[in-house]
Amino acid sequence: MRTSALVAMMMLAGGAARAEEPISKDLVETKLGQKTDKAGWFPSMDIGANFQLGHSHQVVGQTDGVTVAIGAAIGAGLVMEKGQHEWSTSLGWKFALTRSPDLGEFSKGQDDVFFQTRYVYSFPRPKWLGVFGKFRLETALLPGWKVSLGDGDVRIEDWEGNEQVGEGYSVGPGDRINLTESFSPLLLKQNVGLMATPVDSKPVKWEINAGIGSHEFFAMKGLRFADTDATPELDLQIMRDYVQVGAALETRIMGKPHAFFTYSAGVELMQPFYTSIDTDLRGIDFLNVRIDALMRFKLWRFLTIDLSVDAKRYPVVTEQWQVATNLLLNFHFEYPAPVQKPKCPACPECKVCPEVPPAALSPVEGQPALPACPECDECADCPPCDGCPG
C-alpha cells in the first residue's frame, strides 16, 4: 500500500504562460496576431506570480497550522522578421510550491522550463507555404521530491522491475523522497519539414507543420513512480535514456479577435519509427503527444489574466498523462509597444489620405474607393468625394 502522497496544486494568482506555447504555450512562443510587414526584432516579456498564506486554529475538519503557496511564471520571447524569413525564440519557467500543516515542508507542485527556437522561410508563391526547422528543450529547474505523510519503506527497481538491493530506505512523516536532480529529466526535440498557413488573419491564424522529428531523453538517473499493490513498499523505477526518430505533425490555431482577448491552442504528434531502447510498446502505443492551450484576457496595458493548460504523454517515460493547469494574473511587457493606429475619418475631413488624380475624386457611380492610407490602412473604405487634402 502507499504510505505517502503527492501534493498537486493549481496555481491561482493573487498578484504569467504562450506560453504556448507560450503560451505553450507557452506564454510567449509567438506574437499572436501581430505579424507586420516591417522588418526588425520584436522582444516581449511576461512576469507573473502568486502568493497565498492561510492559518487555521481549531477549525472543524481542518488541521491546525499555517498553509503557504507560492508560484511564478516567467517568459521571454524574441521574434526577427525580414522579408520571407522569420526567426522566433522563446524561454519560459513556471513553478509552484506549497506547504501545509500535514506536510511540514514545501512540496513541488509544478516546475516546467522550456527553450524553443524556430526558423520559417515562406515561399514567394504561394505565400501560405514554406519550410521550417525547430529546436525545443524541456526540463525542470529544481530537484524533484515527494513528501511522505506516514511511515513506510521505499523500494528502488530497474526498468524491468528488479529490486536494486541496498538502495531502498525507510521514511517517516514529513521526510523527503528524492526523485530527480536539477535539470532532470532533460528532453530535446527537433523538427524539420513543410509549413502551411491555410488561414492567416488577425482573428484566426491556422498553422500546420509536417515533417521528420526526433527526441533525445536524458534521465540522469532520475526516478519515477511505479507503485503497485503487489508490494507493500512505495516502488520507484529508474528511468532510462533513449533516442527516437519518427514522423512529426503539429497544428496550431491562434488569434486576437478583440483587443482584450488573445488565444492559442496546439497539438504536437510524433510517431517514432526508431527507438534506441527495447520496450513492451508497439505501434501506436509509441505515439508522443503534447497539447497546450492559452486564453489571455487583457485588463490593462501591462496586466492580463492567463488561463493555460499543458498536457503531454511520452509513453517511454511514463504511459500516464502529465497535465499542468494555471490561472495567473500576469504582468506583460512588450517592446516596442504595439502601435494603435488611429481611425481614419471619412473624406474630405481626412488629413492623411495620399494625393490622388482629381478625376479619381469625382462622385461618379462605380467610382473606386480611395487608395489605402499609409497611416491607418482604412482610407480605402472612404467613399469617393469632391476633394481630399493630400
- Between CA 103 and CA 137 the distance in angstroms is 32
Query: In a 3-state reduction of DSSP, which class is residue 275?
Result: strand
Which CATH topology does 11-334 take? Answer: Lipocalin (2.40.128)
Q: Among 262, 263, 282, 261, which residue's Cα sits nearest to residue 272?
A: 282
Query: What is the SS3 assignment for 87-130?
Result: EEEEEEEEEEEEECCCCCCCEEEEEEEEEEEEEEEECCCCCCEE
Extract the C-alpha cell encoding 26: 507557452
- Between CA 308 and CA 313 the distance in angstroms is 17
Q: Among 129, 143, 116, which residue's Cα sits nearest to residue 84?
A: 129
Task: Show Cβ contacts of residue 136 under 8 Å, excluding neighbours closer than 6 positions.
Answer: 114, 115, 116, 188, 189, 190
**Domain definitions of the chain by residue range:** 11-334, 342-390
Q: pLDDT tens digits for 77-128?
A: 999 999 899 999 999 998 888 888 877 778 888 899 999 999 999 999 898 9
- Between CA 217 and CA 197 the distance in angstroms is 31
- Between CA 182 and CA 184 the distance in angstroms is 5
pLDDT in tens, the chain (390 residues): 333 333 333 333 333 333 333 333 333 333 433 444 557 888 888 887 777 788 887 777 777 888 888 888 888 999 999 989 999 999 999 888 888 887 777 888 889 999 999 999 999 989 899 999 999 999 999 999 888 878 888 989 888 778 887 788 898 887 888 899 999 999 999 999 999 999 999 899 999 999 999 999 999 989 988 877 767 788 898 999 999 999 999 999 999 998 889 999 999 999 999 999 998 888 899 999 999 999 999 888 778 888 889 999 999 998 889 898 878 777 766 555 555 544 444 444 444 444 444 444 444 444 444 444 444 444 444 444 444 443
Q: Report if pTM > 0.85.
A: no
Extract the C-alpha cell encoding 52: 497565498
CB 90 within 8 A of CB 29: yes
Phi and psi for 287 in degrees, rounded to 5? Answer: -55, 125
- Between CA 350 and CA 354 the distance in angstroms is 10
Q: pLDDT tens digits for 324-347?
A: 887 877 776 655 555 554 444 444
Extract the C-alpha cell encoding 116: 524553443
Residue identified by cell 522578421 is 81
Extract the C-alpha cell encoding 87: 526567426
- Between CA 213 and CA 271 the distance in angstroms is 9
- Between CA 62 and CA 59 the distance in angstroms is 6
DSSP character at residue 367: P
Query: In a 3-state reduction of DSSP, which class is residue 358?
Result: helix
Q: Among 270, 266, 268, 269, which residue's Cα sits nearest to residue 252?
A: 266
Q: How many residues make up the chain in this entry?
A: 390
- Between CA 92 and CA 266 the distance in angstroms is 17
Q: Among 303, 312, 313, 309, which residue's Cα sits nearest to residue 326?
A: 309
